[in-house]
Amino acid sequence: DIQMTQSPSTLSASVGDRVTITCRASQSIRSWLAWYQQKPGKAPKLLIYKASSLESGVPSRFSGSGSGTEFTLTISSLQPDDFATYYCQQYNSDPRTFGQGTKVEIK
Protein backbone atom coordinates (compact mmCIF):
# COMPACT_ATOMS: atom_id res chain seq x y z
CA ASP A 1 0.00 0.00 0.00
CA ILE A 2 1.08 3.58 -0.60
CA GLN A 3 1.32 5.47 2.69
CA MET A 4 0.16 9.10 2.75
CA THR A 5 1.58 11.28 5.50
CA GLN A 6 0.15 14.72 6.20
CA SER A 7 1.74 17.46 8.25
CA PRO A 8 0.96 19.05 10.53
CA SER A 9 -1.77 17.00 12.23
CA THR A 10 -3.20 20.15 13.78
CA LEU A 11 -2.75 23.74 12.73
CA SER A 12 -3.84 26.82 14.68
CA ALA A 13 -4.36 29.89 12.52
CA SER A 14 -6.22 33.19 12.38
CA VAL A 15 -8.61 34.56 9.81
CA GLY A 16 -6.58 36.07 6.99
CA ASP A 17 -3.55 33.81 7.52
CA ARG A 18 -1.88 31.94 4.68
CA VAL A 19 -2.03 28.24 5.50
CA THR A 20 -0.05 25.38 3.95
CA ILE A 21 -0.62 21.67 4.50
CA THR A 22 1.82 19.08 3.21
CA CYS A 23 1.13 15.54 2.04
CA ARG A 24 3.90 13.05 1.28
CA ALA A 25 3.47 9.74 -0.51
CA SER A 26 5.65 6.72 0.23
CA GLN A 27 6.21 6.25 -3.52
CA SER A 28 5.48 8.24 -6.64
CA ILE A 29 1.81 8.83 -7.38
CA ARG A 30 2.50 11.15 -10.32
CA SER A 31 -0.25 13.78 -10.03
CA TRP A 32 -3.04 11.45 -8.88
CA LEU A 33 -3.78 13.32 -5.67
CA ALA A 34 -6.94 14.88 -4.30
CA TRP A 35 -7.63 17.19 -1.36
CA TYR A 36 -10.87 17.07 0.60
CA GLN A 37 -12.38 19.28 3.31
CA GLN A 38 -14.54 17.73 6.01
CA LYS A 39 -16.60 19.52 8.62
CA PRO A 40 -18.03 17.77 11.70
CA GLY A 41 -20.98 15.56 10.89
CA LYS A 42 -20.65 16.12 7.15
CA ALA A 43 -19.36 14.13 4.21
CA PRO A 44 -16.00 15.15 2.75
CA LYS A 45 -16.01 17.75 -0.02
CA LEU A 46 -13.62 17.65 -2.96
CA LEU A 47 -11.43 20.76 -3.22
CA ILE A 48 -8.55 19.83 -5.54
CA TYR A 49 -8.02 16.94 -7.95
CA LYS A 50 -5.08 15.87 -10.08
CA ALA A 51 -2.85 17.66 -7.54
CA SER A 52 -3.56 21.19 -8.74
CA SER A 53 -6.95 21.36 -10.47
CA LEU A 54 -9.55 23.37 -8.58
CA GLU A 55 -12.93 21.68 -8.30
CA SER A 56 -15.83 23.68 -9.71
CA GLY A 57 -17.39 26.00 -7.14
CA VAL A 58 -14.41 25.91 -4.77
CA PRO A 59 -13.07 29.38 -3.87
CA SER A 60 -9.87 30.41 -5.60
CA ARG A 61 -8.11 30.95 -2.26
CA PHE A 62 -7.57 27.17 -2.31
CA SER A 63 -4.72 25.88 -4.44
CA GLY A 64 -2.75 22.68 -4.77
CA SER A 65 0.70 21.89 -6.07
CA GLY A 66 3.22 19.09 -6.33
CA SER A 67 3.88 15.85 -8.15
CA GLY A 68 5.61 12.57 -7.49
CA THR A 69 5.76 12.23 -3.72
CA GLU A 70 5.34 15.73 -2.28
CA PHE A 71 2.22 17.84 -2.42
CA THR A 72 0.82 20.95 -0.76
CA LEU A 73 -2.58 22.48 -0.19
CA THR A 74 -2.51 26.23 0.33
CA ILE A 75 -5.26 28.50 1.57
CA SER A 76 -4.15 32.00 0.64
CA SER A 77 -6.29 33.87 3.16
CA LEU A 78 -8.06 31.75 5.75
CA GLN A 79 -11.77 32.45 6.11
CA PRO A 80 -14.12 31.51 8.99
CA ASP A 81 -15.72 28.83 6.81
CA ASP A 82 -12.34 27.13 6.29
CA PHE A 83 -11.94 25.82 9.83
CA ALA A 84 -12.26 22.10 9.19
CA THR A 85 -10.23 18.93 8.71
CA TYR A 86 -8.39 18.40 5.43
CA TYR A 87 -7.42 15.07 3.89
CA CYS A 88 -5.25 14.16 0.95
CA GLN A 89 -5.92 10.98 -1.04
CA GLN A 90 -3.88 9.21 -3.66
CA TYR A 91 -5.71 7.49 -6.50
CA ASN A 92 -2.70 6.23 -8.41
CA SER A 93 -3.14 2.64 -7.24
CA ASP A 94 -5.27 0.38 -5.07
CA PRO A 95 -5.93 0.78 -2.20
CA ARG A 96 -6.54 4.51 -2.72
CA THR A 97 -5.22 5.65 0.62
CA PHE A 98 -5.97 8.83 2.53
CA GLY A 99 -3.68 10.87 4.70
CA GLN A 100 -4.46 10.95 8.42
CA GLY A 101 -5.94 14.44 8.20
CA THR A 102 -5.00 17.96 9.24
CA LYS A 103 -7.34 19.83 11.56
CA VAL A 104 -7.30 23.59 11.04
CA GLU A 105 -8.33 25.31 14.26
CA ILE A 106 -9.00 28.88 15.25
CA LYS A 107 -6.03 30.50 16.94
- Residues contributing to the site for another protein (CB under 8 A): 1, 32, 34, 36, 38, 43-46, 49-50, 55, 87, 89, 91-92, 94-101
Q: Name the CA dihedral angle for 66, 70, 76, 80, rounded to a multiple of 10 degrees.
A: 130
* Least distance between another protein and beta carbon 3 (Å): 13
Least CB distance from residue 97 to another protein, whole Å?
6
CB nearer to another protein: pick between 80 and 95: 95
- In a 3-state reduction of DSSP, which class is residue 83? coil
Order across the sheet with 19-25: list the strands: 4-7, 19-25, 70-75, 62-67
Give least dist CB 12 to another protein, A: 19
